[in-house]
DNA sequence: CAAAATGAGTAAATCGATTTTTCGCGGTTG
DNA sequence: CAACCGCGAAAAATCGATTTACTCATTTTG
């Protein structure tokens, strides 16, 4: 069978060398673009490469170097648009520099996070982009420090004393949300979030609260924070409303919270923005096609990915100096889910036209 | 500086060997669990491993084998829930078997798809899970065949003469959608899709059409198919409605189509399900929290991923025999976006309880 | 013109494992 | 008692590149 031959061993650098009539070392140099090779020999090597369809084996090639051309990426999950885009960006940026990206999901578990990191250390990756499950003080970052790994922390992180960090400017974005809501006349606002991700949640909460209080000292801000999981948050939110609390706006500090809020509104038959307003941190494609379109804070994924990789490669190439904490500006998209309070619907069915 | 030591070279198998007073070969055997090692020596190896914190370098370990313990995954994109979950699943399944998953996104380009595949071939991956941009007859599958790579094709694929395939049973699911819509009394239905993904689109379309016609020979089925991109589809859909066409239900054959349909409905001020019904292929988390909740065909991601990996590892382990085409059953979730035609809303607000 | 410097290339060491081959030794067997 | 087994372990080859050290020429320099 002729097509069986396809399964044969791929040509190695020695096959190329013997066909070109030079040594393997010379072939290696030609492939690396070293200029001290006689043009004639270089040409023979190129011809042999062409004829045999030779390609450098990255695994063998990486064997001899301490830092291999592999970058690790660890994300809490892959299912959301944010991390999906992030992985996609990181992969393309790594590829541009001739690196291979190995991505793994910690599935929101710090234990798994550390395990994955250990495995990446086994691979002697040149660097790691880590979006920690909780924050920069978790066991994963500690592991990286203890093992002298180079890396960059992103997303659920503010700043660190050992690693560069890149994240969205949660505080400023939240301040802008506060400005918008206060400006529309809201004076009783509920903020929901997940306490686990301490650093960012605090930044978002503080940014929101301080600006809101500055603009309207009489504003009432309630906070419903669940510790770790989404379902408890749903329960707490249900309780909160059951007690008769009736804020005019809800600000969700993370995507799943926005979904929870929406589903609770549904349960109670409330409609945005007539009955209650809603803004969420994190944008998603569907938010602009629903009725109403959901207002959201858009994180600059490309910038975060880009600057994370920039910082990472700088460190890989030996850049010294104290860690840098970067904050990327967000965009706030005020869509139809935000209105003015007391703006009682044209009492009828008109709330849908 | 004490913590500088962390950056030191990691211990190799020889370090372990000399500390345990045995040869490297013996250490290798102990690590591999070979039983022909004297218990006493094994114990000394374990002690040395423990003391030095030794871990096998997977890269070096893979050097000597033809098939390395790496699996490649190529998806058209990472941003959607479907492919996000898919990558997550595949990663975890690969890890379970001691393999590392390298994932890359073809970004809906067949050229990129082949490039990525070539790079994975350079890595001598043991196998590839490929979700082709278009279908099983693209250049990527051809490349795999030509190079004797082992792999499994998933998602936008029906069956192949060289590779195992796993995909959702689009035809049956579409038939069920047809049953539901016809059952509710719809007799003028619009189907929208993207022609590019020939195989699956055809299956979904045929499955829907044949069942609908069988149940109601008088049904009118319009089809709006764009060739490659989503925006042309939006334009065509706009034209279609502008001509005065007024189907009572829309069946979207893919996720983005559902978003396009929804946004077109919005533009025209139509509401589901009173003005028009909507079902989409592919489910998403947000679909159950919007008003109305969107009916959708749920693809069994875990089953697809699981069976794809099963098939792949069987082939890696040398299983012979003709390629197997697997179809995984979908679930159809009929949510509020589907109603009966002419069922003019109980003109009031009652449609919200 | 001899000595030192430069250029171009190769053989061999190296990376960190795995696998094959060889070896030593105590115990059988003829 | 010599030839033979078989076991456990060590030595050596291997995987496919890169890099170091070294060898010839050729060229420059004192």
Question: What pLDDT shows up at residue A3?
Answer: 38
**Which pLDDT belongs to residue B344?**
53
Partner B contacted by A347 (CB < 8 A): no
Q: Residue A148 has what pLDDT?
A: 95
pLDDT exceeds 80 at position A350? no
Output the pLDDT for position A353: 33
Q: Measured between beta carbons, which residues in chain B are less than 8 angstroms from residue A62? A: 59
In this structure, the protein residues whose CB atom falls closer than 7 angstroms to any atom of nucleic acid strand D are: A 9-14, 24-25, 28-29, 31-32, 55-57, 60-61, 63-65; B 21-26, 36-38, 40-41, 63-64
Mean pLDDT over A309-326 rounds to 97
- In this predicted structure, the answer to whether residue A349 has a pLDDT above a threshold of 60 is no
Q: How far is CA A111 from its chain centroid?
A: 19
Residue B265 has pLDDT above 90, yes or no: yes
Which has more pLDDT, B66 or B147? B147
Q: Which helix (H) or strand (E) holds A193?
A: strand A188-194
CATH topology for A68-168+301-328 is Rossmann fold (3.40.50)
Does CATH place domain A170-299+333-339 in 3.40.50.2300?
yes
Q: What is the pLDDT of residue A229?
A: 87
Is the domain spanning B170-299+333-340 CATH 3.40.50.2300? The answer is yes
Taking alpha carbons only, the member of B255, B244, B316 closest to residue B286 is B255
Average pLDDT of every residue of chain B = 93
- By CB atoms closer than 10 A (0-12, 13-18, 19+), residue B11 is middle
* pLDDT > 90 in chain B, percent: 87
Q: A with B: how many residue pairs have Cβ under 8 Å apart? A: 150
Query: Is B6 in contact with A122 (Cβ distance < 8 A)?
Result: no
Contacts 24+ apart (CB under 8 A), B314-320: B315/B127, B315/B150, B315/B152, B315/B164, B316/B67, B316/B126, B316/B127, B316/B150
Cis peptide before A143 (omega within 30 of 0): no
* Res A43: pLDDT: 96
Residue B9 is classified by DSSP as P
The beta strands (E) that lie in chain B are given as 68-75, 100-105, 125-130, 151-154, 164-168, 188-194, 220-226, 249-252, 277-281, 295-298, 325-328, 331-333
B186-224 per-position pLDDT tens digit: 999 999 998 766 788 999 999 999 999 999 999 999 999
Average model confidence (pLDDT) across chain A: 93
pLDDT in tens, A225-257: 998 889 999 999 999 999 999 999 999 999 999
* pLDDT(A5) > 60: no
CATH superfamily of the B2-56 domain:
lambda repressor-like DNA-binding domains (1.10.260.40)
- Does B63 touch chain A if contact means CB atoms closer than 8 Å? yes
Residue B302's Cβ-side half-sphere holds a number of Cα atoms within 13 Å equal to 1
* Mean pLDDT, range B260-288, rounded to an integer: 95
Q: How far is B151 from chain A (nearest CA, A)?
A: 13
A352 touching chain B per CB within 8 A: yes
The dihedrals phi and psi of B139, each to the nearest 5 degrees, come to -65, -30
d(CA B317, CA B310): 11
Which of A5, A84, A320 should be substituted to probe chain B, the one whose Cβ sees the most B Cβ atoms within 10 Å?
A84
CB B159 within 7 Å, strand C:
no
Q: Model confidence at B35, in pLDDT bands (50, 70, 90)?
A: confident
Interface residue B146 vs chain A (CB under 8 A): yes
How far is the CA of B184 from the CAs of B212, B274, B330, B342, in angstroms? 12, 13, 21, 11
| Strand C footprint nucleotides (protein C-beta < 7 Å) | 7-12, 14-20
Whether the per-residue pLDDT at B4 is higher than 70: the answer is: no
**Average of pLDDT values for B24-31?**
97
pLDDT (tens digit, 9 = 90+) per residue, A63-79? 999 899 999 999 999 99
Q: Is residue B326 very low, low, confident or very high in pLDDT (cuts 50, 70, 90)?
A: very high
Strands A151-154 and A295-298, bridge-based pairing: unpaired
B313 CA from D12 C1′ (Å): 33
Strands B331-333 and B295-298: antiparallel
- In this prediction, residue B350 has a pLDDT band, given cuts at 50, 70 and 90, of very low
- Nearest C-alpha in A relative to B112: A92
Burial state string for A42-59 with b = 16 or more CB within 10 A and e = fewer than 16: bebbeebbeeeebeebbb
Do residues B341 and B274 lie in contact, with contact meaning Cβ atoms separated by under 8 Å?
no
* pLDDT (0 to 100) of residue B119: 98
Taking an 8 Å cut-off on Cβ atoms, the answer to whether B57 and A122 are in contact is yes
Question: Do A68-168+301-328 and A170-299+333-339 share a fold?
Answer: yes
pLDDT at B228: 83
Report the chain B residue with the minimal C-alpha distance to residue A72: B102
pLDDT per position as a tens digit, A264-313: 999 999 999 999 999 999 999 999 988 889 999 999 999 999 999 999 99
Whether residue A8 lies within 8 A of chain B, CB to CB, comes out as yes
| Shortest CA to C1' contact from B15: nucleotide | C16
A137-185 per-position pLDDT tens digit:
999 999 999 999 999 999 999 999 999 999 999 999 999 999 999 999 9
Task: Determine the pLDDT at residue A346.
Answer: 41
CA distance B264 to chain A (A): 9
Q: What is the pLDDT of residue B182?
A: 98
- Topology of domain B68-167+301-327, per CATH? Rossmann fold (3.40.50)
Q: Is A81 near chain B, with CB under 8 Å? A: yes
Which nucleotides of chain D have an atom under 7 angstroms from any protein CB? 7-12, 14-21
CA dist A37 and A26 (Å) reads 7
Domain regions of chain B by residue span: 2-56, 68-167+301-327, 170-299+333-340
Q: Report the nucleotide nearest the CA of residue B56, measured to C1'.
A: C17
Chain A residue closest to B116 (CA)?
A95
């Amino acid at each position: 069978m002729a097509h069986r031959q396809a399964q044969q061993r791929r040509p190695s650098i020695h096959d190329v060398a013997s066909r070109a009539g030079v040594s393997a070392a010379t072939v290696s140099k030609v492939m690396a673009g070293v200029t001290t090779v006689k043009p004639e020999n270089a040409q023979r090597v190129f011809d042999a490469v062409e004829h045999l369809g030779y390609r450098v084996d990255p695994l063998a090639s990486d064997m001899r170097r301490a830092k291999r051309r592999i970058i690790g990426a660890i994300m809490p999950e892959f299912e959301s648009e944010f991390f999906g885009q992030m992985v996609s960006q990181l992969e393309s940026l790594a590829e541009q520099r001739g690196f291979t990206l190995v991505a793994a999901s910690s599935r929101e578990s710090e234990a798994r996070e550390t395990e994955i990191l250990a495995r990446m250390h086994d691979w002697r990756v040149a660097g790691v982009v880590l979006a920690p499950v909780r924050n920069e003080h978790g066991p994963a970052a500690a592991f990286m420090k203890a093992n002298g790994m180079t890396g960059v922390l992103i997303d659920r992180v503010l700043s660190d004393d050992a690693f560069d960090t890149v994240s969205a400017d949660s505080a400023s974005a939240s301040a802008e949300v506060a400005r918008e809501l206060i400006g529309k006349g809201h004076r009783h606002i509920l903020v929901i979030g997940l306490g686990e991700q301490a650093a960012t949640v605090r930044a978002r909460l503080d940014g929101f609260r301080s600006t809101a209080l500055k603009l309207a000292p009489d504003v009432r801000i309630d906070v419903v924070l669940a510790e770790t999981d989404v379902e408890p948050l749903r329960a707490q939110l249900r309780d909160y409303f059951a007690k008769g609390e009736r804020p005019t706006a809800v600000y969700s500090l993370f995507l799943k919270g926005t979904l929870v809020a929406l589903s609770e509104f549904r349960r109670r038959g409330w409609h945005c923005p007539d009955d209650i307003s809603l803004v969420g941190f994190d944008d998603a494609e569907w938010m602009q096609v629903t009725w109403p379109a959901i207002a959201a804070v858009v994180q600059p994924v490309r910038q975060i990915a880009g600057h994370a990789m920039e910082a990472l490669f700088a460190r890989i190439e030996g850049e010294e100096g104290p860690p840098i904490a970067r904050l990327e500006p967000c965009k706030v998209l005020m869509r139809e889910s935000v209105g003015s309070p007391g703006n009682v619907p044209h009492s009828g069915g008109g709330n849908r036209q």
